[in-house]
Each structure stands twice: as C-alpha cells, then as structure tokens.
Structure 1
Amino acid sequence: MSRQQREQVDAAVRARPAGERTSVPQFRAEFRELMAKALVPGGIRTEETKLGGRRALLVEPAAGPGPGTILYFHGGAFVVGAPETALSQTGNLVTRTGFRALSLDYRLAPEQPYPAAADDCLSAYRDLLEQGVHPGSIVFAGDSAGGGLCVTTCLSARAAGLPLPAAVVLFSPWLDLTLTGESMVTRAAADPMFTPESLSGPGALYLAGQDPRNPLLSPAVSADFTGFPPLLIQVGTNEILLDDSTRAAVRARAAGADVILDVVAGVPHVFQCYSGMLDEADEALDRAGLFIGQRVSGRD
C-alpha cells in the first residue's frame, strides 16, 4: 500500500470538489467526464439489454460467464450516473468472480424523485426472478447511492414476500439522507470529495419533500435488517459518509445478519473506482470478489 498513491488520489479528487456546480446538466456532464478516466479491465464484453422495463448494461467475461449474477446499482447521489459510469467497478467484479453483471439504468432525480429509483431496482430484481434466475445465485452490489439502493431493494423485496439474494456488497454506501452521522462533522476536513452542503442539494432533489427518516431513505437510521443475507460493506476513513456504513453494520448485526465491515484507512469515497491506480482499491475488489464467490450457490 502506497502513501504516495493515496496522496495523489486525494489531490486529484480535491481538484474537482463535488459542491462546485451550477446545474444538474453540468453535474451530470462533469460526473461522466470524471468516471470516464476510471480504468476498465480487459477481458470483458458489454451489451445493452432490458431489465424490469429499464435499460441495463450486461457485463460478462469475454470467455463466457459462470453460474452467478451480480445485479449492480451505480452511484451518483440519485441525480447523476449510468451503468457506463460504474463500468470500472462492474468490470472488476466480473473479472474477479467470472460471473455476469447486470447494471441498471434506474430513473434519476429531479425528473423522477423517490420512489422512482427504488421502484426500478425492485422491478429489476423481480424480473430476474421471473426469468428463472435462482435467488441463491444473485448478489446485489452498488456504490454510494447505489449501495443505498441495494439495501432498500432488500427491504422492499422482503416486504413483497420475495426471496432475498445470496449476498449484498456495498461500496461507500449512502444510507442516511438525514445526514446526521457524526462523521459528517468529524471527517469533514479529511473528505476530499464531499461536504454536508454538497450532499444536501442532491438529497433534497431525490427526497422531493419526503421524510428522510423513512427506512427506505435512511436505512442506517431506521431500517430493520432482520432476515438479510450476508453483507460486505467497504468504506474509507476519509469519508463524511463513514458513519452510514458503521451504523448500518451495527443495525444489521443486531438483527442477526452476517456482516463484514471493511474499513480502509486514508482512502476517499468509492475508492474501488481507482483500481489500477491505488493498491487499496485492487485489494478491496479482491476481497469483494472472494466474498461473492463464497456465497453464490452455483445455481443460475
């Protein structure tokens, strides 16, 4: 692990602070430009498809997928992002597991605020089940807002009487739209990407007046994790969202869920997207791939 690598990544992120934007279209354009620089591994192929009535990107090993499906929800504060902006993360999970990934293009705020994204994610999972894909071969994975959607999709699936997936993998999940975690203050100086103010704007667009204490909006604050599949939560110490992960892990463990909380020192939000540039990113992806492979039943 290289201190120099961490410092270079930190400086690069600080050069593009997330709060300095004037409009949603500008935010989206800047995010696409930023994520286009993330390294995508070789040995994969992609194809557009549909899932739950929405566009999705199929990512699979060029040699053909093994018996598992990763349902991936991209990040972007519920306002920006697409399957293509998370291709580094999905591609790296695919190459490490040999499974296919389906990355969903869910609806975004402000055009389509809550519950549009949550509904799309549940519809995508329901579609997979209706296609005959065994839940024991499905893993939810996502980063940032997409990590939050992984948790809320489990909550909604449980409420609908659907079987839950084999496991859930969360990269720096945003799990508290009340923005009340202590790390919002204690990690403010360390976080090179976000301030509470830069998150409150997109959060308000997604909430559109809804109570953020709703478990489907702030599961780290109010959700019941009873019956959840095993969770792997990866987060960096330099994140104001650190306590989203730590509080969710506590709630999940209290409900009897199997939880691995993987906290990495000195790295920023969704540090896994720096694969090939940051040793900690590749090592974390290795751990995520191992976690997924150990928990998928082999039935598809």
Structure 2
Amino acid sequence: MEISREADTLRALYQNWTDQMVENPDLTIANLRSMFDEWGQPAQEPENVSYKSDHVGGVEAIWALPAGADTSRVIVYTHGGGFAVGSADSHRKMAGHLAKVLGVTSVILHYRRAPEHPFPAQIEDAVAAYKALLDKGFKARNILTAGDSAGGNLAIASVLKLRELGLPLPGAVIAYSPWLDMAMRGETLETNAETDALVGKPILEAMAGMFLGEGTDPLNPLANPLENDFTGYPPLYINAGGAETLKSDAERLHEKAKAQGVNVTLSIVEGMQHVFPALSGRAPEANEELGRIAAWYRAL
C-alpha cells in the first residue's frame, strides 16, 4: 500500500520513539511523558483556531475555539497515551482540526494519568467535565465525546458510565484507533506486529499494568469497553490504520455495536499507522478522513 510522503512522518516519529525505548529500557515515566509530548508535531496548526486554558469540572483543560464555530456544540476530547503519557497540549492541534471541520468547539482534557492515578480516575475526570458542561447549559445532544487510542477508550467508556449514572447521553462518539481490550486478545496484535512502528504487546502490557493498578480486572467493563452491551448507545464513528496492531479492537467494537443496533461507522485506512489523524493538516490521508467524519456528523 503506497502512502504519502507526509504520512510517513508519523511512522518515522513512532519508530524513533520505539528505538529510544528499546535502547533505554529504564526510561522514567517523566522521560516518557516528555518524549510523547512530541505527538503534537505531525499535525499542522489549524488556521483560525484559538486556544484557551481552563478548568472544567475541576479538570485542567484546553479549549479549541475555531472562528465561526457553533458555540452551543462541544467535543469533550480525551487524549491518547496509554492512560499514562500524552497531554492536552500534545493533542490540541488534532482536536482543533476535528472541531474546525465539524464547526464546533472542543475542550481537551488533561485528565489524571496513571500510574499515579490508576483506573477509574480517568473516567471520573471525563464524567466530571461532562457534568460541568451540562451545568453550563450545553444540551447533551450537542456534546460529542472523542478521543484517540487510550483516549478513544475513555470517549467510549465515559458514555457507558454516564448511562450507568442515568445521565443524558451525548449526541455522538468519535474514536480514533481506540485501545479497548485490556486483555489483549486482538488478532492484529500478531498479524500487524511487523507493520506497526509503535504499538506492540510489551508496551500495551506495561501501560495496562499502570492503568489497571493492583486490583482491576482487565475484563472490567469500564476499563475494557468490549465487555459491554451497546444497546441504545449514541451514533459512533470509529477509525483505525490498516498497518496498526490495534485494528482488531476497532473492528470488534464495530461488529458488536452494529449487532446491537447502534448507528456505527468504521473507517480503516490502509497503510496508516496508529492514530493517523495525528497528521491532520499535513497528510492527505488524514485530511480525507476528517472530511469523511464531517460528512458523517452532518448526516446525523
């Protein structure tokens, strides 16, 4: 599969991180966080989007505010990074592009991270921010949850938690390359091991260990969204790269949600790496995907 030269910048960045982790197996969590904050580099700065620091429901956050956006609509964006690395800052451009193409605002959460704060701290923060937006007057149907990788898990699982709490559910959910299965049963973990430049079983096992802590079962339905019934779930858009090890998680979620009557769309883009919308504004593959998401959202 031929990919664009621009798209290869993401593979190269991931390979660089992998090489550093292999060469320095004793990197501290502070070292890893510093390295993964480079995740913001591949995306171009979205034009006519301003940013504002804030606290929403007690959670540190960055607002992405596209010029002319419908300010009654908001994306609650949860960043990726295995629940332990990544930040609102590393993902603000990616979330800014998504907000701009949908014509809405976005609040990017700097939720508490593992290992200092294991499960369920991350979901608690996402729920607290959502409740605060309802209190500010946002209508549930005008809120979307979205996220990538571990943040894709949170975008999905936080809605399951909202359902459990009896709160009104958001109007839609968007998950980029979601990492869902803490038991790591997906077949593409093996079949795509050679083509994924970043995500392999060892890194997932380390991140899952930090996230789950001592007492959480990897099949806990809020830590592992695949262990849920999705009946009555909001419209759901899932994507993944054809080259990534977590493709199975996206496919299994799509299959399960579809079987349970959810309005669900799955987009697999061949040759792409994990969280390829990190290339928003730079690579044609990411920009075309944003166009598909915008068309999906407009049709809801």
Query: What is the TM-score of this pair, normalised by structure 2?
Result: 0.93
Pairs within 5 Å for 1:220-259: 220=226, 222-259=227-264
Q: Does 1:166 align with 2:167?
A: no
Alignment match, 1:132: 137
- Residue 76 of structure 1, aligned match among 78, 81, 90: 81
Pairs within 5 Å for 1:62-101: 62-63=67-68, 65-101=70-106
Q: How far apart are 1:198 and its partner, in Å?
A: 1.2
Alignment deviations for residues 37-63 of structure 1 (CA, whole Å, 9 cap, x no partner): 532211011111121111111111134
Pairs within 5 Å for 1:50-199: 50-63=55-68, 65-199=70-204
Alignment match, 1:3: 3
Alignment match, 2:17: 16
Alignment deviations for residues 80-118 of structure 1 (CA, whole Å, 9 cap, x no partner): 121111112111112212211011111000111001001
Alignment deviations for residues 55-76 of structure 1 (CA, whole Å, 9 cap, x no partner): 1111111345443111111111
Equivalent residue of 1:59, what SS? strand
8 Å CA contact 2:160–2:222 kept in 1: the answer is yes
8 Å CA contact 2:180–2:225 kept in 1: the answer is yes
| Identical-pair percentage | 35
What is the CA–CA distance in structure 2 between the aligned matches of 1:34 and 1:251, rounded to whole Å?
Answer: 30
Equivalent residue of 1:50, what SS? strand
Q: How far apart are 1:13 and its partner, in Å?
A: 2.6
Q: How far apart are 1:293 and its partner, in Å?
A: 3.4
Alignment deviations for residues 229-277 of structure 1 (CA, whole Å, 9 cap, x no partner): 1100010111111111111111111211111011110000000011233
8 Å CA contact 1:2–1:279 kept in 2: the answer is no
User: RMSD of the alignment, in Å?
Assistant: 1.7
Q: How far apart are 1:196 and its partner, in Å?
A: 0.4
- Residue 284 of structure 2, aligned match among 261, 279, 284: 279
Runs of 5+ consecutive residues of structure 2 not aligned to the other structure: none
What is the CA–CA distance in structure 2 between the aligned matches of 1:204 and 1:226, rounded to whole Å?
Answer: 30
- Residue 270 of structure 2, aligned match among 243, 265, 268: 265
Question: Aligned partner of 2:146: which letter?
Answer: A
Equivalent residue of 2:290, what SS? helix
What is the CA–CA distance in structure 2 between the aligned matches of 1:40 and 1:149, rounded to whole Å?
Answer: 25
Alignment deviations for residues 123-155 of structure 1 (CA, whole Å, 9 cap, x no partner): 111111122211111111111111000111111
Name the CA shift for 1:293/1:36 in 2 (closer, same or farther; >3 Å). Answer: same
Runs of 5+ consecutive residues of structure 1 not aligned to the other structure: 296-300
Question: Aligned partner of 1:87: which letter?
Answer: R
Q: Does 1:211 align with 2:217?
A: yes
8 Å CA contact 2:45–2:281 kept in 1: the answer is no
Alignment match, 2:40: 35
Question: Aligned partner of 1:17: which letter?
Answer: T
8 Å CA contact 2:39–2:278 kept in 1: the answer is no
